[in-house]
Amino acid sequence: MCLAVPGRVVGVEERRDTVMAEVDFGGVRKDVCLQYLPDVGIGDYVIVHVGFAIQRLDERSALETLAEFERLGLLEEEFGDGFAAAAREAGEQP
């Protein structure tokens, strides 16, 4: 949960008076609350933590970070099934 992952905004809409975005994280798409970065638009890159965009990021930095996270297997850890991940760790051989 400590990760904050950069992603690209691919859609923006208001839902119950809250600005929400669809954000693409190197192929995985998630609903993200955009309420704290109201000026962000489609095509912008943002840093997302637990479903909230907390800062903007330039495209080059975002793509570098995403590639690094992919290489380290962190995207699966962040967006995969939380129960499965915890169970996998519980079974890790000592």
Partner 1 sequence: MIHGPGCPVCVTPLEIIDKALEIAARPDVIFCSFGDMLRVPGSEKDLFRIKSEGGDVRVVYSPLDTLTLARENPDREVVFFGIGFETTAPANAMTVYQARRLGVRNFSLLVSHVLVPPAIAAIMESPSCRVQAFLGAGHVCSVMGTAEYPPLAQRYRVPIVVTGFEPLDILEGIRRAVIQLEAGCHEVENAYRRAVPAEGNPAAQAMLREVFTVTDRAWRGIGVIPRSGWRLAPAFAEFDAEERFAVQDIRTAESTVCRSGEVLQGLIKPHECAAFGRECTPRTPLGATMVSSEGACAAYHRYRRLELTHA
Residues that bind partner 1 (CB under 8 A): 1-4, 16-18, 30-33, 35-38, 47, 49-52, 54-55, 57-58, 61, 65, 68, 77, 79, 81-83, 85-87, 89-94
Task: Give the nearest distance from C-beta 73 to partner 1 in angstroms.
Answer: 11
CB of 43 to partner 1, least distance (A): 18
The stretches of 1-94 forming alpha helices (DSSP H) are 59-71, 74-79, 82-90
**CA 3, 60, 81 angle in degrees (round to 5)?**
30
